[in-house]
Chains A and B, each alone.
Chain A
Amino acid sequence: MSFLLTATAALPALGAIATAAVPAAKRNAAKWLALIVSLATLVLAAIVLVRFDPGGDRYQLTESHAWIKDFGVRYELGVDGIAVALIALTALLIPFIILAGWHDADPLETGNKRWRPTQGFFALILAVEAMVIISFEATDVFLFYIFFEAMLIPMYFLIGGFGDRAHEHGEEAASTQRSYAAVKFLLYNLAGGLIMLAAVIGFYVVAGHFSLQTIAENGVPEMATSTERWLFLGFFFAFAVKAPLWPLHTWLPNAMQESTAPVAVLITAVVDKVGTFAMLRFCLQLFPEASKWATPAILVLALISIIYGALLAVGQRDMKRLVAYASISHFGFIIMGIFAMTSQGQSGATLYMVNHGISTAALMLVAGFLISRRGSRLIADYGGVQKVAPVLAGTFLIGGLATLSLPGLAPFVSEFLVLVGTFARYPVIGIIATLGIVLAALYTLVLYQRTMTGPVKAEVEGMPDLRVRELVVVAPLVVLLIFLGVYPKPVTDIVNPAVKQTLSDVQKQDPKPEVEAAK
């Protein structure tokens, strides 16, 4: 039995404690410590990736210890291909998030009204990383639930305590908005989590244990149809809030708008992925029949998310809000891919999670750099940036093109797979969802046009181009976007067997092509 998975999650957790313990005077040491810990975690994640054998058992690198015996709760870890891909994504993004947020928690120069614990900011990010990673690893429902919920605490402080100070109505308004967003985030997710807790307990009553590994061996426990459906809905509700799915989405724009760009990336690219991941792992595996029963309704909600999110993105004045609504649209695609119940759809959805993480990080972080230069999030406050900061504009454009799924960049692969996978079973939904690609082009290009092109605005003049630290953040993401767009095979190879397993859990087979069927 190896301790690799525990180590991958424990390292950032210990790092968080160590970072928090750094005295306030040595705030730079805290930054470097956090960065080094996140890089070391990346190395561990890479080892997990290498040690993982796509053709091997369903759950690998497993660890299993009794924990709370009386309730059958075990400390059980194990990863399948989907989890490995997402752990790798998380470990990959955190160093960039830390680097991008290097100055976000520096003490305020003006007036020194509030004390900002720099080391706390980085410790919280590492804490989130640890919890996200262990949620991906947990194969015990209860263990998963604990960290799924615990994540909210550091996120709450990251949003509420270190938010974006750029606000059109000044510092005071920003502070009010920020606490509103943080509380909204907390309440939404707590509500989802509590309903899930009831379902978790219900599941224990029916099944007598919490272990996914046991289910993988012995099959799903017998339960009455109505019980299964209620439990499914309990789980799904929590994940749909986190994902987020229309109409449970309104916390996301507020949270992303009010937090700093790196934290916004943390929310949408890392934390929210736990929601969609959990749909694949828990909803489909624990409640296969109920999943099939709910599929039509969920697909319609996902479709609404896609179109609605994109339309709202078009109507935004605030660029971070715009990215948030674009994310809602993208999460619609992910959920649609999961519940299309085809190999293409689910492989696409998993790839989508990875690609959306990278592309949103690229777009949002560059937007953050832009905002930090001008001190405003409003799109109308910019214009002609391309002329003064061509590299910034170029990377922003690439991030935008990735968001609109341009072929050759990574998100295209996943979006197309999701569309094809959905279309194969539900042609009408597939065709309507295709409208999403036109709308995506609309909001991205409008954003680019209004901020980057046109005559140079007076306030924008003299804006510096990307600095070295910022380039170090953006360049690898851009390279990854191109690489995974051209050669996604390394990821699909890892993901495919896991998707096949999930599909066999729900006993669904891919529809056969018409011509082949005729033969």
Chain B
Amino acid sequence: MENLIALLVAAPLLGAAVLLCGGRRLDAVGHWLGTALAAASFVIGVVLFADMAGKDAEHREIGQHLFSWIPVEGFQADVAFQLDQLSMTFVLLITGVGSLIHVYSIGYMEHDERRRRFFGYLNLFLAAMLLLVLADNYLLLYVGWEGVGLASYLLIGFWQHKPSAATAAKKAFLVNRVGDMGLSIAIMLMFTTFGTFAFGPVLESTGETSEGMLTAIGLMLLLAACGKSAQVPLQSWLGDAMEGPTPVSALIHAATMVTAGVYLIVRSGEIFNAAPDAQLAVTVVGAVTLLFGAIVGCAKDDIKKALAGSTMSQIGYMILAAGLGPIGYVFAIMHLVTHGFFKAGLFLGAGSVMHGMNDEVDMRKYGGLRKYMPVTFVTFGLGYLAIIGFPGLSGFFSKDKIIEAAFAKGGTEGWILGGVALLGAAITAFYMTRVMLMTFFGEERWQPAPDPDKAPSVEPGIEVHPGEMPHPHESPKVMTIPMIVLAVGSVFGGAFFSIGDRFIHWLEPVTDHAHGHPPISALAVTMSTVAVMVIGVGLAWLQYGRRPVPVVAPRGSLLTRAARRDLLQDDFNHVVLVRGGEHLTRSLVYVDHTLVDGVVNGTAATMGGLSGRLRRIQNGYARSYAVSMFGGAAILIAATLLMRAV
């Protein structure tokens, strides 16, 4: 069984290699090959899962040592895998949702001439993501970590001819690099503290070092998580990342990659458990982001960007839960899985809508689509109910538990965090209802297709005739089936996990679990969650359901305008980092040219001037040269004699 682990990674990696190096010959079969290998990986995952489920809870962890990667005196990095319940959960989520999205992409990318390469990148992503969750040490995890960053970069910038896509891709990579810096510093700290960075030895010996050191490691890991999971203050890339094709947004920027930060924190649970300050920082980041994302989500008119805000906010919930320690780890992962289902479903639905609407993304130009795309409407609707936490659907179970755990943290912190989480739930209900109403209900506000020359943002390969009205239609089966599967997951997932605390028992041996005791009863928490959800939905209905939605966005309040600009964080970045950086580099180029080089050139010029004067001695008469020669010889001889005399 152990030997299958490497195959999990190898299958998509092989796909990526073949598809990217294969050339045009594979254009006809590339998408099938990519999908088949993703599915193969899923099948292997299922086999491993069946094997694991058949064992006792204590003996479920298996590992595979492939080879010694970087053997240097005192430094041992191996390519070795570790498959325990936590990794298994991720493997199934990644390969499962991944395979579905591969299938969906066959339809979505049908008209794109570079479809083969798209599947190559998707496979590359799967391989890197699996490496990330299967690694048995932090350095190998780092490889996967940057590998998914690369795949994300390539896929966001897939339509490279659009400058906005290329810029968004670059921004995503750069912001992630800042986070990666945190991860590499964390690894260095582990190396100097523990002499190793393998999960086992590091996490077992946390008790032998100071709390200060653990806090430092924890904060660095948090920085890494902030980058990858788009948490404040490194969240700015996620909205722009929506420039990528929609299946990419669904897979990478909703269901899997962006949750890697949560994985990292839960995986390093022992470090955080022993460092309360770092934990507090994690909860604060989570709480701030969950509000931040939710507020941004309320103001966006671009359906994908609204969903991106929502992703940010939902991951904020997970990070918050992960920061609560053993009372939250399990729920963080559970919300991660259910979120994987419903958010992927929502994105695929959004993609389906765009597919039918000439790739229009502005929700103000949608409306009344439920009649034209029934399947999309139903699946999207189920995902919507799941995310707002409608009782009985999966989001309800996972989010409710997180809010409960937040209250259970105790003290003032508990009240604040719980309150924030509740408020977030209300805003979630508001913005998701807004998306739902603007897209599928109300009157039809469709606009003629823009001229592609004037607005080059239209996705290529899809024929758009300028001035033509959209003809919304249901997407082909290859796209709707994955949506239906994901919708089923979003409906039943939560209940399935929660009955008999299945999920808790499954993860407990790895992440540890403590039952939290909220200051108010669990029932009260649940009631208030449902209540705030109803309020959120009601407010949204008042604003977008009862009144017609204007096609051109109204000016809006100060907060709305700020939220449309991602709460001005991009502007801050632009002014401070981009402008400041430009000035810095420009002045450094100047310094290098005038000062550093100037010193050298100045020396040369001085020498030149000096020799210009000395040159006058060269009068060209052989006699005078001879005189100077003889004079010199005479002086030398005189000096020698003089020295001898003394």
Residues of A participating in the B interface, judged by any CB pair closer than 8 Å: 184, 187-188, 246-247, 249-250, 308, 311-312, 314-316, 343-344, 347-348, 384, 386-387, 394, 401, 406-408, 412-413, 416-417, 419-420, 423-424, 427, 430-431, 434-435, 437-438, 441-442, 445-446, 449, 452-456, 486-489, 492-493, 496, 499-500, 510-516, 518-519
Cα separation A254 to B94 with both chains bound (whole Å)? 49
Nearest chain A CB to B314's CB is how many angstroms away?
28
- B585-613 vs A, CB cutoff 8 Å, 1 = contact: the mask equals 11011001000110010001000000000
**Which of chain A's residues have a CB closer than 8 A to the CB of B188?**
419-420, 423-424, 430
Interface check B166, CB cutoff 8 A:
yes
Q: A311-B584, A420-B188, A514-B193 are in contact. List 10 more A-B contacts (CB 8 A).
A: A250-B597, A308-B588, A314-B581, A348-B72, A413-B70, A442-B174, A449-B167, A492-B71, A511-B192, A519-B208
Q: Determine if A438 and B181 form an interchain contact, defined as CB atoms under 8 angstroms apart.
A: yes
Q: Determine if A513 and B191 form an interchain contact, defined as CB atoms under 8 angstroms apart.
A: yes
Contact of A312 among B167, B193, B589 (CB under 8 A): B589
Q: Determine if A420 and B209 form an interchain contact, defined as CB atoms under 8 angstroms apart.
A: no
Q: Determine if A437 and B180 form an interchain contact, defined as CB atoms under 8 angstroms apart.
A: yes
Q: Determine if B166 and A449 form an interchain contact, defined as CB atoms under 8 angstroms apart.
A: yes
**Which of chain B's residues have a CB closer than 8 A to the CB of A312?**
585, 588-589, 592
**Which of chain A's residues have a CB closer than 8 A to the CB of B169?**
449
Interface SS of chain A: helix
Which of chain B's residues 355-408 have a Cβ closer than 8 Å to chain A? Answer: none
Given A408-B143, A408-B147, are A250 and B596 neighbors across the interface (CB < 8 Å)?
Answer: yes
Q: Determine if B70 and A424 form an interchain contact, defined as CB atoms under 8 angstroms apart.
A: no
Which chain B residue lies CB-closest to A497? B73
Q: Which 8 A-B residue pairs are closest in the complex by CB-CB distance?
A: A513-B195, A315-B585, A343-B73, A453-B166, A453-B160, A407-B143, A423-B188, A315-B589
Q: Determine if B147 and A250 form an interchain contact, defined as CB atoms under 8 angstroms apart.
A: no
Contact of B161 among A188, A437, A454, A486 (CB under 8 A): A454
Show 16 residue pairs from A and B whose CB-CB distance is below 8 angstroms, ordered by the A residue. A250-B597, A311-B588, A312-B588, A343-B73, A386-B161, A407-B142, A416-B70, A430-B188, A438-B178, A453-B157, A454-B166, A455-B163, A487-B69, A489-B68, A489-B69, A513-B194
Contact of A344 among B73, B139, B208 (CB under 8 A): B73
- B69-103 vs A, CB cutoff 8 Å, 1 = contact: the mask equals 11111110001000000000000000000000000
**Which of chain B's residues have a CB closer than 8 A to the CB of A420?**
75, 187-188, 191
Contact of A347 among B73, B174, B195 (CB under 8 A): B73
Which chain A residue lies CB-closest to B179? A438
**Which of chain B's residues have a CB closer than 8 A to the CB of A413?**
70
B contacts with A, residue count (CB < 8 A): 62
Which chain B residue lies CB-closest to A401? B150
**Which of chain B's residues have a CB closer than 8 A to the CB of A518?**
208-209
**Which of chain A's residues have a CB closer than 8 A to the CB of B517?**
none
Contact of B74 among A384, A452, A510 (CB under 8 A): A510
Q: Determine if B75 and A417 form an interchain contact, defined as CB atoms under 8 angstroms apart.
A: yes
**Which of chain A's residues have a CB closer than 8 A to the CB of B150?**
401, 406
Q: Determine if B73 and A453 form an interchain contact, defined as CB atoms under 8 angstroms apart.
A: no
Nearest chain B CB to A147's CB is how many angstroms away?
26
**Which of chain B's residues have a CB closer than 8 A to the CB of A434?**
181, 184-185
Q: Determine if B72 and A441 form an interchain contact, defined as CB atoms under 8 angstroms apart.
A: no
**Which of chain B's residues have a CB closer than 8 A to the CB of A455?**
161, 163, 456
Interface check B67, CB cutoff 8 A:
yes
**Which of chain B's residues have a CB closer than 8 A to the CB of A311?**
584-585, 588
**Which of chain B's residues have a CB closer than 8 A to the CB of A515?**
193-195, 205, 208-209
**Which of chain A's residues have a CB closer than 8 A to the CB of B194?**
513-516
**Which of chain A's residues have a CB closer than 8 A to the CB of B604?**
187
Nearest chain A CB to B165's CB is how many angstroms away?
8
Nearest chain B CB to A391's CB is how many angstroms away?
9
**Which of chain B's residues have a CB closer than 8 A to the CB of A401?**
150
Residues of B participating in the A interface, judged by any CB pair closer than 8 Å: 20, 67-75, 79, 139, 142-143, 145-147, 150, 153, 157, 160-163, 165-167, 169-170, 173-174, 177-178, 180-181, 184-185, 187-189, 191-196, 205, 208-209, 213, 456, 581, 584-586, 588-589, 592, 596-597, 600, 604
Nearest chain A CB to B552's CB is how many angstroms away?
28
Q: Determine if A416 and B139 form an interchain contact, defined as CB atoms under 8 angstroms apart.
A: yes
Nearest chain B CB to A433's CB is how many angstroms away?
10
**Which of chain A's residues have a CB closer than 8 A to the CB of B180?**
437
Nearest chain A CB to B1's CB is how many angstroms away?
24
Which chain B residue lies CB-closest to A246? B596
Contact of B589 among A316, A423, A487 (CB under 8 A): A316
Cα separation A16 to B174 with both chains bound (whole Å)? 46
**Which of chain B's residues have a CB closer than 8 A to the CB of A430?**
188
Cα separation A434 to B89 with both chains bound (whole Å)? 33
Cα separation A512 to B74 with both chains bound (whole Å)? 9
Q: Determine if A445 and B170 form an interchain contact, defined as CB atoms under 8 angstroms apart.
A: yes
**Which of chain A's residues have a CB closer than 8 A to the CB of B192?**
423-424, 427, 511, 513-514
Q: Determine if A438 and B73 form an interchain contact, defined as CB atoms under 8 angstroms apart.
A: no
Q: Determine if B174 and A441 form an interchain contact, defined as CB atoms under 8 angstroms apart.
A: yes
Nearest chain B CB to A258's CB is how many angstroms away?
15
Nearest chain A CB to B183's CB is how many angstroms away?
10
Q: Determine if B184 and A446 form an interchain contact, defined as CB atoms under 8 angstroms apart.
A: no
Q: Determine if A492 and B70 form an interchain contact, defined as CB atoms under 8 angstroms apart.
A: yes
Q: Determine if B163 and A514 form an interchain contact, defined as CB atoms under 8 angstroms apart.
A: no
Cα separation A464 to B72 with both chains bound (whole Å)? 44
Cα separation A519 to B194 with both chains bound (whole Å)? 11
Q: Determine if B170 and A449 form an interchain contact, defined as CB atoms under 8 angstroms apart.
A: yes
**Which of chain A's residues have a CB closer than 8 A to the CB of B167?**
449
**Which of chain B's residues have a CB closer than 8 A to the CB of A417?**
70, 72, 75
Q: Determine if B184 and A416 form an interchain contact, defined as CB atoms under 8 angstroms apart.
A: yes
Cα separation A386 to B181 with both chains bound (whole Å)? 29
Given A247-B596, A420-B191, A434-B185, are A514 and B161 neighbors across the interface (CB < 8 Å)?
Answer: no
Q: Determine if A250 and B600 form an interchain contact, defined as CB atoms under 8 angstroms apart.
A: yes
Given A250-B592, A420-B191, A515-B194, are A496 and B181 neighbors across the interface (CB < 8 Å)?
Answer: no
**Which of chain B's residues have a CB closer than 8 A to the CB of A489?**
67-71
Which chain B residue lies CB-closest to A493? B71
Contact of A407 among B71, B147, B596 (CB under 8 A): B147
Given A437-B180, A488-B70, are A452 and B160 neighbors across the interface (CB < 8 Å)?
Answer: yes
Which chain A residue lies CB-closest to B593? A250
Which chain A residue lies CB-closest to B143? A407
**Which of chain A's residues have a CB closer than 8 A to the CB of B142?**
407
**Which of chain B's residues have a CB closer than 8 A to the CB of A184?**
600
Which chain B residue lies CB-closest to A342? B74
Cα separation A311 to B160 with both chains bound (whole Å)? 26
Given A424-B192, A454-B161, are A407 and B174 neighbors across the interface (CB < 8 Å)?
Answer: no
**Which of chain A's residues have a CB closer than 8 A to the CB of B597?**
250
Which chain B residue lies CB-closest to A387? B161
Nearest chain A CB to B199's CB is how many angstroms away?
15
Q: Determine if B174 and A343 form an interchain contact, defined as CB atoms under 8 angstroms apart.
A: no
Cα separation A252 to B318 with both chains bound (whole Å)? 50
Which chain A residue lies CB-closest to B144? A407
Which chain A residue lies CB-closest to B587? A315
Cα separation A240 to B591 with both chains bound (whole Å)? 20
Q: Determine if B581 and A437 form an interchain contact, defined as CB atoms under 8 angstroms apart.
A: no
Given A408-B143, A449-B167, A511-B192, are A344 and B75 neighbors across the interface (CB < 8 Å)?
Answer: yes
Which chain A residue lies CB-closest to B172? A445
Cα separation A445 to B592 with both chains bound (whole Å)? 23
**Which of chain A's residues have a CB closer than 8 A to the CB of B586?**
315
**Which of chain A's residues have a CB closer than 8 A to the CB of B600?**
184, 188, 250
Q: Determine if A438 and B174 form an interchain contact, defined as CB atoms under 8 angstroms apart.
A: yes
Which chain B residue lies CB-closest to A404? B177
Q: Determine if A492 and B589 form an interchain contact, defined as CB atoms under 8 angstroms apart.
A: no
